[in-house]
C-alpha cells in the first residue's frame, strides 16, 4: 500500500525548494527520489500538484503519497559479503574496493545490491526505490569500508533521520597528495554539481552545506595519511574537499592529478568507523574496519 504523509512547513524551512524540503522530512526519501515523486504528481498542497522548484512557505500544508516500491528487475548474485554485524533490522557490511553499491548504467551486475538480494531475499527496505533496496547511504566504487543496510522500512527511516540531523558517526582514513601543515582543521565549503562538468561535484556558492574535519596521522615525502570525520554526507564530499584545499586523495582519477599513482586503482580512501543509534533498541553501536591490504601496502611504500 502507498504511504501517506502530511507536513506543516516550519518557519525555519520556509523558502526551501520542494525536492529539498521533502528529502529533509525523515521519511527516507533522497532528493533525487523526491524529484521523481514530485514529477509523478505525488506531492500536493491544497489539492494542487506542485513542481520540484516550488518553494514552500511557513505554515503551508504539504501532502505526499509515496507509492509502493516497484518490483526490482535486478538479479540476485551469490557474491561473498563481509558482514560485520547483522540482526533482524540491519546489516553492517565491509565493502571491498572496486564494488559498486547499487546498479546503474554500465553496472547492472556484480553490485552490492545484487549480493544483498541473494543473501537477504525480499527482506530489504524498499524506501529508496526500485534500484536501491536497503541502501541507506553509499560509498563510491573505489572507496572501501563500512556501510549500513536496512532490512525493513522502519529501520531505514530511523537511520535516515540520524543522517539528516548529522548524528551518524562516519570516520574515514585516506592518503592525500602533499604535506598538510596543520595537524588538524575543518573544511566547511558547500558542494554541488560542477558548472564545468555535470558528472563531477565541486565547491560552489549555491551548493549544499558540507563539513569535513581532518586530523593528520602521519606525514611522508609528498603524501599525508589523514583521518577524516564527516559532519555532513554529500556526494564525493571528502574527495572534493581535499582537492579544494590542494590535497586531493591519492589515486583519485576524477579530482586528483592526471598522472596515476603507481599501484593504486582508484582513490586511497577507506570508511574506517561507523556509529549509529540502533533504530529499534536505542543503543549506540560503533564498528571499526581494519585498513585493507591495498591501503597498508601503499603506506609501507611511503615509509622511509
Rounded Cα gap, residues 15 and 11, in angstroms? 9
CB within 8 A of 8, min separation 6: which ones? 59, 60, 61, 62
- Segment (H or E) for 284: strand 284-288
Strands (E) located in the chain: 3-8, 43-45, 48-49, 61-66, 83-86, 90-95, 144-150, 169-177, 184-188, 191-193, 201-203, 211-220, 223-230, 269-277, 284-288
Rounded Cα gap, residues 247 and 175, in angstroms? 9
Assess whether 153 carries a catalytic annotation: no
Residue 204: count of CB within 10 angstroms of its CB: 15
Catalytic annotation, pick one of 140, 142, 183, 206 = 140
Rounded Cα gap, residues 225 and 178, in angstroms? 10
Rounded Cα gap, residues 28 and 13, in angstroms? 18
Radius of gyration of the chain, Cα coordinates, nearest whole angstrom: 20
Rounded Cα gap, residues 115 and 81, in angstroms? 7
Residues with catalytic roles: 140
Amino acid at each position: 500500500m502507498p504511504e501517506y504523509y502530511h507536513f506543516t512547513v516550519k518557519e525555519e524551512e520556509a523558502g526551501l525548494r520542494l525536492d529539498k524540503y521533502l528529502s529533509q522530512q525523515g521519511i527516507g526519501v533522497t532528493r533525487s527520489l523526491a524529484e521523481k515523486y514530485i514529477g509523478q504528481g505525488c506531492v500536493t498542497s491544497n489539492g494542487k500538484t506542485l513542481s520540484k522548484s516550488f518553494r514552500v512557505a511557513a505554515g503551508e500544508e504539504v501532502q505526499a503519497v509515496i507509492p509502493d516500491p516497484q518490483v526490482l528487475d535486478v538479479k540476485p548474485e551469490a557474491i561473498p559479503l563481509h558482514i560485520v554485524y547483522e540482526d533482524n533490522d540491519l546489516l553492517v557490511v565491509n565493502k571491498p574496493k572496486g564494488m559498486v553499491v547499487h546498479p546503474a548504467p554500465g553496472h547492472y551486475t556484480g553490485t552490492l545490491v545484487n549480493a544483498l538480494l541473494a543473501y537477504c531475499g525480499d527482506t530489504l527496505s524498499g524506501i529508496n526505490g526500485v534500484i536501491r533496496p536497503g541502501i541507506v547511504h553509499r560509498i563510491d566504487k573505489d572507496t572501501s569500508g563500512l556501510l549500513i543496510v536496512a532490512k525493513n522500512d522502519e529501520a531505514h527511516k530511523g537511520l535516515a533521520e540520524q543522517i539528516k540531523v548529522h548524528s551518524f558517526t562516519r570516520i574515514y582514513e585516506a592518503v592525500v597528495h602533499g604535506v598538510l601543515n596543520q595537524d588538524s582543521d575543518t573544511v566547511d565549503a558547500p558542494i554541488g554539481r560542477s558548472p564545468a562538468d555535470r558528472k563531477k561535484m565541486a565547491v560552489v556558492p549555491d551548493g549544499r552545506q558540507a563539513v569535513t574535519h581532518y586530523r593528520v596521522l602521519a606525514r611522508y615525502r609528498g603524501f599525508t595519511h589523514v583521518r577524516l570525520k564527516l559532519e555532513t554526507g554529500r556526494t564525493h564530499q571528502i574527495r572534493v574537499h581535499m582537492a579544494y584545499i590542494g590535497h586531493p586523495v591519492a589515486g583519485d582519477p576524477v579530482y586528483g592529478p592526471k598522472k596515476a599513482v603507481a599501484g593504486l586503482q582508484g582513490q586511497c580512501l577507506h570508511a574506517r568507523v561507523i556509529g549509529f543509534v540502533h533504530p529499534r533498541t536505542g543503543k549506540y553501536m560503533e564498528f571499526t574496519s581494519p585498513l585493507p591490504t591495498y591501503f597498508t601496502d601503499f603506506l609501507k611504500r611511503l615509509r622511509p
